[in-house]
């Protein structure tokens, strides 16, 4: 690991930033536009995916369905699917359970982690992480440490040795110590989510899983020169032992990073694992072609309905018919015995069109694993959902995908928690052995639970020897929130 990267000594960082701005960021921006679909009318994000005959110049010679005002329908089926997947992942708090060897260490570790995660945003932080990961395929977490605040905590007697046999002035596992130290820990250590459009990794040439450096880029508007607004770039560059802050390439701040023992304070989280790639698999990109097809067919149907919704009349032998009103109670008269009025038009059934739109929606259900039932839209063909097992069978695809993603997100949460404990140990605030920094995640069931079934399960746990305090905590009857994010 060479800290000359912070000063751009070997050009790796500049090359990584240039490649990110040229190749990675445009692709990520397109994914975000499809998810958010911001704008109005023809300026919305998904408008770019419509065919040229709907969004470009029109000419009667090339498009027989030409109209001066084509109907454009954009139905964002991507966003509600992404939101549903995030709800299934992080809709409920997660318990962080320490796997330390003794009880006092476990209490201290869980108290410290709870303070840091809650101070960084708690469940809202996890939901932000889940949303960015689902849209872009991956997301990064960075740990920002205030060494001065940590040293002040240690100097004020808020540190403790949580290792077996250790002592300290304030035990973070105790109630009063947890509250008092927790307020300080939330200020001294903060976990931030990095938007992948801003994060630039510098990967090891021999191992795509190893980071040599990491940059966070932020574009801001600067002063105006020659009638044009100048864009200013702010950057943070992390290397194993240094943090460098830059503005337009000029170094402003250089800080030593000694709390992480030569590790980058960055944790990479893939939405779903992708072999031999730094970026993971997202949820938006596979849906984009189907979303374009759906919007195209909905727009075509809207144009057909507009043209055929009203009946038209062909009149023969009636003078001045074009000026006569057409409506209920109107009487037309003529002396021409050969006069006639013929009605045509009106909306007609189009079974093939309806079938195609339905099949496109079903294809989006299969690709995403999110059926409308997951949002509470019950259709007539779902069968009898009289039990929780029947509901699980209908949502088996979404539940399986959620379980798969819990592995990658859970690994990232555990890795960041271990990094927090390493920083607390290096600062002397909470001394722990590496073996005692393990974390086990307990996830809540994303589906509604039956109160009677939960009560019976809790009773059986107590009969098997599980402590009543832990069981009551799982049921939500305990006032102890330690370990809950």
Tens of pLDDT along 353-385? Answer: 899 999 999 999 999 998 887 776 666 555 555
Q: State residue 196's pLDDT score.
A: 96
Higher pLDDT, 131 or 249: 131
**52: pLDDT confidence band, cut at 50, 70 and 90?**
confident
pLDDT average, residue stretch 328-341: 84
pLDDT at 69: 66
Residue 144 pLDDT class (50, 70, 90 cuts): very high
Q: Looking at residue 173, what is its pLDDT?
A: 46
Query: What pLDDT, on a 0 to 100 scale, did the predictor assign at position 179?
Result: 44
Mean pLDDT score, 308-314: 77
Using CB atoms within 10 Å of the CB of residue 176, give its burial: 0 to 12 exposed, 13 to 18 middle, 19+ buried.
exposed
The pLDDT of residue 159: 55
Residues whose CB falls within 8 Å of the CB of residue 23, separated by 6 or more in sequence, listed in order: none
CB atoms < 10 A from the CB of 300, how many? 21
pLDDT bucket at 229, cuts 50 / 70 / 90: low
Identify the pLDDT of residue 317.
Answer: 86
From the list 53, 45, 46, 175, the residue with the least C-alpha distance to 107 is 175
pLDDT of residue 125: 95
pLDDT band for position 165 (50/70/90)? very low
Q: Is the pLDDT of residue 9 over 60?
A: no
Asked if the model's pLDDT at residue 332 lies above 50, the reply is yes
pLDDT at 395 over 60: yes
Q: Tell me the average pLDDT of the chain.
A: 82
Burial class for 142, CB neighbours closer than 10 Å (0-12, 13-18, 19+) = buried
The confidence score (pLDDT) of residue 344 equals: 75
Distances (CA, A) of 482 to 121, 437, 441, 485: 15, 16, 13, 9
Asked which of 1-5, 88-92, 240-244, 263-267 is least confident by mean pLDDT, the reply is 1-5
Examine the pLDDT at 174 and tell me if it is beyond 70. Answer: no
Is the model's pTM score more than 0.75?
yes
Instruction: Please report which confidence band the pLDDT of residue 182 belongs to, taking 50, 70 and 90 as the band edges.
Output: low
């Amino acid at each position: 690991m060479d800290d000359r990267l912070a000063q751009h000594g070997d050009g790796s960082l500049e090359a990584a930033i240039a490649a990110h701005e040229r190749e990675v960021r445009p692709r990520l921006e397109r994914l975000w536009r499809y998810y958010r679909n911001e704008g109005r009318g023809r300026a919305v994000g998904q408008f770019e995916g419509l065919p040229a005959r709907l969004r470009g110049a029109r000419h009667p010679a090339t498009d027989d369905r030409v109209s001066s005002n084509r109907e454009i329908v954009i139905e964002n089926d991507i966003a509600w699917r992404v939101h549903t997947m995030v709800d299934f992942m992080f809709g409920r708090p997660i318990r962080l359970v320490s796997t330390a060897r003794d009880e006092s260490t476990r209490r201290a570790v869980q108290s410290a982690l709870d303070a840091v995660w809650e101070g960084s945003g708690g469940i809202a932080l996890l939901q932000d992480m889940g949303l960015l990961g689902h849209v872009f395929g991956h997301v990064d977490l960075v740990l920002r440490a205030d060494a001065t605040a940590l040293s002040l905590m240690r100097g004020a007697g808020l540190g403790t040795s949580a290792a077996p046999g250790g002592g300290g002035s304030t035990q973070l596992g105790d109630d009063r110590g947890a509250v008092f130290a927790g307020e300080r820990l939330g200020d001294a250590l903060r976990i931030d989510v990095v938007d992948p459009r801003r994060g630039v990794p510098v990967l090891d040439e021999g191992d795509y899983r190893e980071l040599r450096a990491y940059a966070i880029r932020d574009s801001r508007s600067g002063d105006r020169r020659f009638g044009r607004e100048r864009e200013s770039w702010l950057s943070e560059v992390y290397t194993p032992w240094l943090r460098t802050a830059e503005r337009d390439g000029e170094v402003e701040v250089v800080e030593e990073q000694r709390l992480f023992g030569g590790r980058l304070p960055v944790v990479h989280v893939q939405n779903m694992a992708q072999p031999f790639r730094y970026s993971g698999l997202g949820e938006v990109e596979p849906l984009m072609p189907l979303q374009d097809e759906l919007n195209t067919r909905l727009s075509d149907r809207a144009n057909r309905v507009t043209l055929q919704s009203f009946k038209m009349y062909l009149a023969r032998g009636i003078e001045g018919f074009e000026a006569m009103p057409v409506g209920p109670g109107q009487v037309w008269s003529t002396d021409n015995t050969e006069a006639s009025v013929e009605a045509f038009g009106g909306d007609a059934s189009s079974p093939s069109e309806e079938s195609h739109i339905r099949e496109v929606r079903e294809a989006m259900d299969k690709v995403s694993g999110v059926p409308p039932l997951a949002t509470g839209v019950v259709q007539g063909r779902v069968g009898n959902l009289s039990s929780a097992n029947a509901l699980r069978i209908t949502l088996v695809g979404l539940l399986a995908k959620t379980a798969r993603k819990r592995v990658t997100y859970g690994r990232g949460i555990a890795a960041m928690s271990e990094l927090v404990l390493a920083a607390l140990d290096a600062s002397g605030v909470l001394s722990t052995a590496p073996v005692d920094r393990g974390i086990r995640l307990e996830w809540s069931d994303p589906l509604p639970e039956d109160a009677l079934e939960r009560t019976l399960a809790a009773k059986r746990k107590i009969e098997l020897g599980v402590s009543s305090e832990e069981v009551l905590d799982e049921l939500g009857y305990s006032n102890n929130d330690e370990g809950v994010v």
